[in-house]
Structure 1
Amino acid sequence: MADIVNLRQARKQRARDEKVRIAQQNRVLYGRSKGEKQRDHLVADQAEKFVAGHRREPSGVESEQ
């Protein structure tokens, strides 16, 4: 015979498990230290400056026709 399951308790446990899963995902996505964020920002700025410095026309000047 099957075990008797309280559906209310099962729903609540499933909701708790879902919250734990979402919290784990958020820790992975957003759980970075201030130094890591600053490093990533610095790398992105350097890459943007590198690309901007190698453009044929400056981005502010539109081609005259």
Structure 2
Amino acid sequence: MSGDVVNLRQFRKAKARTDKERHAEQNRITHGRTKAEKDLTRRLNDKAAQSLDQGRIERNDAQSTDSTE
């Protein structure tokens, strides 16, 4: 029965390092975009919302007002 001896202090530090790096990577993905990338995403979302609204059928008859009561 042979097992590797593990220094718990070093193990905890290594685990903390990997957790911190994982968190930093997530932050880079979330916040690490340039202004141009943010503007492009905003414009694409606006265009998609506009095209979705163009296809919407609005009803202004009595049925639409009765359904809210």
Give the alignment's TM-score, normalised by structure 2: 0.68
Give runs of aligned pairs for residues 13-52 of structure 1, distance below 5 A. Answer: 13-52=14-53
Pick the structure with greater CA Rg: 2
User: Relative contact order, CA 8 A, sep 6+: which one is greater?
Assistant: 1
How many residues are treated as equivalent by the alignment? 63
Aligned-residue sequence identity (percent) comes to 41
RMSD of aligned alpha carbons: 2.4
- What letter is aligned with 1:29? T
Which residues of structure 1 form unaligned runs of 5+? none
Which residues of structure 2 form unaligned runs of 5+? none
Shift of 1:36: 0.5
Give, in whole Å, the separation in 1 of the partners of 2:47 and 2:31: 23
Shift of 1:25: 2.5
Give, in whole Å, the separation in 2 of the partners of 1:32 and 1:53: 30
